[in-house]
Amino acid sequence: MTFTTRPEITGTFGVATSTHWIASAVGMKILEQGGNAFDAAAAMGFVLNVVEPHLNGPLGDMPLMIRPAGAAAPKMICGQGTTPAGATIAHYKSEGLTLIPGSGLLATVIPGAFGAFMLMLRDHGSLPLRDILEPAIYYARHGHPMLPRVANTIAGLTDFFREEWPTSYATWLPGGTAPKAGALFCNPELADMWERLVTEAEAVTGREAQIEAARRTFYEGFIAEAIDSYLKDACVMDAAGGRRKGVLTGQDMATWQASYEDPLSVDYHGWTVWKGGMWTQGPTLLQSLRMLEGIDLGAMDLRGAEFVHTVTETIKLAFADREAYYGDPDHTDLPVDTLLSRDYAATRRALIGDRASLDQRPGHIAGLEAWAKAAVDRAGRDLAAGPGVGGGEPTMAHLTEKRGDTVHFDVIDRWGNSVSATPSGGWLQSSPVIPGLGVPLNSRAQMFWLEDGLPTSLAPGRRPRTTLSPSMGQAPDGTELAFGTPGGDQQDQWQLILFLRLVHGQMNLQEAIDAPLFHTGHFQSSFYPRGTRPGHLMAEPAFGEAVLQELRDKDHEVEVSEPWAVGRLTAASRGTEGMLKAAATPRLMQAYAIGR
């Protein structure tokens, strides 16, 4: 057996794994007090808002995949809010923009994560809302140990917050001092917001009624009113270097609700894998599996150059299709059946050669040639190492790179309910703190284009084509799997690698996560300023110099990461006999899996 950085957690009562040890512990606490996986998941999500504020917040977005015990397939809860009524291409161009900024008020869409949590809790949870929010309220009010990366992010933004976003300065630098790594950090305004929301909800009787009352309070009550009031007058600096007002209103929030939908799926070597719809990047993983099923990966060294090269070239083709053909299916007729078909995959697989491709190559779909041409033209004019193509974490080099990443968690309870979710947006770099709420809005609108006629053209009422992408799978023996990672454009790359190692390498969850990772920034970044890096391949040094050199010999532009620096994967599974397993990445030294 291969040495792993920590054990694969096993048990029968419950498992909770996330990108922060406190959130994992809170998930286990909820299971211990009698809650189910849905209760635990929501509590974990709200705690992650508090302890990883540079990566997600209460006014962000989230695809939430759930699988109730005994269900034949998961359901997706769409917590991706849509664009405001005032979000038109004409208006954004009138503001002097050719790209939607990566931060500031014009980058925001309706906050969706909270609505998704409430829909899940109302229909599937078991505990009162106060029990779910109490841990987040505690850590916001009494403090949590400040992560070094959060402290660094705030320190790097001190002057900008002081001069441009004073509400953020007051929240993130209490008393005018940047928090130190490891010091207790409190957000009393956030604690007050959640406390008021719960108190108002408790004015009605019954668990489900209180949850619905909380949802209304968020989207029609004091929270929506605070957002509406601030955005009426606020005119703030954004990543494009201008001071601009937003277009989100309280009316926009009042008209939106989270919803259920069926995920997409493919079969692969006896497995079934489920991903979010075309409004996520999830189908790239499904397309990749369709291409790879015609290649004998089982004969390859899963830490070798041939495997890395083959998977990377597959990813490039899948993501070229993402750029051309993905978007909100509620607003555009998208070729999903073609993209996931074996016949189409065969034409794509034939393009994989023994050298790294430097071209953007969306597939040919009759009648949609204009979409493909637009994607290739965009990528050709945006050759830049922009944010979103690096290791997946915020950097301090420039204001436009002070973007956020994401968090992820998976939880399975003793009854067999499972949840996989990737909350994001509303990170502290994205937008000024809303007065009275202690947290900022999201910046997901940056994934739209200010060009007409595309599936990802900005228009009112559309979902952005998000990078957020939780996963579920089922093995040939019936074992159920929930997995995911933060990482923007890298999410479905790292998840693909994890899954392939589980299928072809007979690794356990921790072995598959610990094994060296890689990703490419070859295709168009989802994040402002939307750069491309043709031929780019980032790989961890643990592959060894011989493998890295072989990849260079295949024309890959190899960028060697710091040791243990790529990927933030977590995973959990449930066998047919009820055995639960979980694992979490050692990278960044903060993710943790807990179970018994």
User: For 579-588, how does the pLDDT look when each residue is reduced to its tens digit (9 = 90+)?
Assistant: 999 999 999 8
In whole angstroms, give the CA distance from residue 204 to residue 207.
9
Tens of pLDDT, residues 448-476:
999 999 999 999 999 999 999 999 999 99
Q: From CA 536, how far away is CA 44, in angstroms rounded?
A: 35
Residue range 313-326: mean pLDDT, rounded: 98
Q: What is the pLDDT of residue 393?
A: 32
pLDDT of residue 402: 46
- To the nearest 10 degrees (0 to 180), the angle between helices 342-349 and 305-325 is 120
pLDDT at 2: 83
Beta carbons within 10 angstroms of residue 579's beta carbon? 12
Query: What percent of the chain stands above pLDDT 90?
Result: 94
CA distance 383 to 202: 53
Distance CA 552, CA 480 (A): 38
Query: What residues have CB less than 8 Å from 25, skipping those under 6 apart?
Result: 16, 592, 594
Residue 389: the pLDDT is: 28
Q: How far apart are CA 237 and CA 310, in angstroms?
A: 43
Residue type at 103 in one-letter notation = S
89-93, 128-132, 390-394: segment of lowest average pLDDT: 390-394
* Pairing of β 62-67 and β 418-421: antiparallel
Name the pairing type of β-strands 580-584 and 592-595.
Answer: unpaired
Neighbours of 333 (CB within 10 A): 8
List, in order of start, the domains of the chain with CATH numbers: 9-234+399-447 (no CATH), 261-393+467-595 (3.60.20.40)
Q: What type of residue is 592?
A: Y
Q: How confident is the model at residue 384 (pLDDT cuts 50, 70, 90)?
A: low
Structure confidence at residue 394 (pLDDT): 35
How does the average pLDDT of the chain come out, rounded?
95
Q: What pLDDT is stored for residue 396 in this prediction?
A: 25
Q: List all residues 6 or more positions away from 94 whose beta carbon is below 8 Å from its beta carbon.
A: none
Return the pLDDT at 380: 77
- Position 207 scores a pLDDT of 98
199 token code pair: 């108190």
> Rounded mean pLDDT of 308-336?
98
Beta partners for residue 273, in sequence order: 266, 473
